[in-house]
Structure 1
Amino acid sequence: MTPTLFSHYTPLNPVASAIPRVDSSVRLSLNPVRDRRVTVDGAWWPYSRDAAAELPGLIAAVDQRLAGTTLRIGLRQDEWDHIPHRLPARGRQVRIGWFGHADPHVLTMSMAGAEPIVLLVIPPGTATGPAEAGLKLAAEDTTGFVPAEILTIAHLFTAPDVGLAYEEDSPDWENEGGYVTAQP
């Protein structure tokens, strides 16, 4: 059965009336296997917190990569600026829902005739190394990890070497797993 779309195309403004196109600069990774056991289905690294500016490109990219139709997006209200009620997308309006108690690190996309897509949202100001690691990790098996843990792991993989002050014959090590700083 083919889903019926009840949303009518109503331009929000002259700029928003343009049909969003997939831009190669959309920073998105998707797990090639749609597995309901994983925590997230991929990750998205937006350039800003402006939902009205960022979401059209995401919608177009996800629709193209999954050969699907995004109907609705749910996101954390206080993580975004300029959240519209609807966004135009190829002959339809995508509804945007915002919630005060949703996970701040995820965005959920309801798709026509398919399970929802849950994306890890990498904060816009994240450095390139950790963000790219997060994009890669989220597209792999994330079973058992909450979104915040995926972001933490991504930062750990790219953290600079802190260079512990351990020397082979140093008497400064404790027996509890840590080390004591040099004695005065």
Structure 2
Amino acid sequence: MTPTLLSQPAPLGSASSAIPRVDSTLRLSLHPVPNRRAVVDGTWWPCSRDAAAELPSLIAAVDRLLDRVTLRIGVHWDVWQSIPRRIPARGRRVRIGWFRHTDPRVITLIFATGEPVVLLVVPPDTAAGPAEATLKLTAQDTTGLSIDDILTVARLPPDHAPPLRGTAADGSAR
């Protein structure tokens, strides 16, 4: 079963801004009204852990759905492969920051205006049922739920992040 598109992909007017959105082609769900009390603003289920391949379509979709301009993205260094310093986007280059002190289960998008958006990342190899349940759940209001709570409700293990890289190909610590 594939998540259904709950709204039109174009930015919505203020009267319909509270309608949750799921983009089934990108496997992305967003709660359209940022809630600083919620731990995540949505979920993204990428097809791979290749940041250079996956991030351009995420940037384009989030910019379109939220009617914002993504300037930077923060990812966990040990979880992603092929992390470029910048990703080309419509008329600009989006800076990619990689960190080790962040939760490896999330990705953060920072915009020219407005609050950042934090997305729970479902690992690419996750079974469709739990992944789709996570997409649908985070398109709703998750105020008061932790990431572990969301994963429990969606039937994903709390430690669902892939194994961390550990060392570089030359044997040195990363």
Bucket of the pairwise TM-score, normalised by the shorter protein: 0.7 to 0.9
Number of aligned residue pairs: 134
* 1:61 lines up with 2:57 in the alignment: no
Q: TM-score, with normalisation over the residues of structure 2?
A: 0.73
Question: Aligned with 2:154: secondary structure?
Answer: helix
Does the Cα contact within 8 Å between 1:76 and 1:99 map onto a contact in 2? yes
Larger Rg: 1
Cα deviation, residue 144, structure 1: 2.4
In the alignment, structure 2 segments of 5+ residues that lack a partner are 1-22, 157-174
Distance 1:100 1:24 in 2: 30
AA in 2 matched with 1:121: V
Distance 1:98 1:152 in 2: 27
Cα deviation, residue 145, structure 1: 2.3
Identity in percent: 65
Distance 1:102 1:148 in 2: 15
Q: Which residue of 1 aligns with 2:86?
A: 86
Which structure 1 residue ranges, 4+ long, deviate > 4 Å from structure 2? none
In the alignment, structure 1 segments of 5+ residues that lack a partner are 1-22, 157-184
Q: TM-score, with normalisation over the residues of structure 1?
A: 0.69
Distance 2:62 2:55 in 1: 10
Mapping of 1:6-21 within 5 angstroms? none
> RMSD of the TM alignment (CA)?
1.5
Cα deviation, residue 24, structure 1: 6.3
Moved more, 62-71 or 138-147: 138-147
Does the Cα contact within 8 Å between 2:32 and 2:66 map onto a contact in 1? no
Q: Which residue of 1 aligns with 2:29?
A: 29
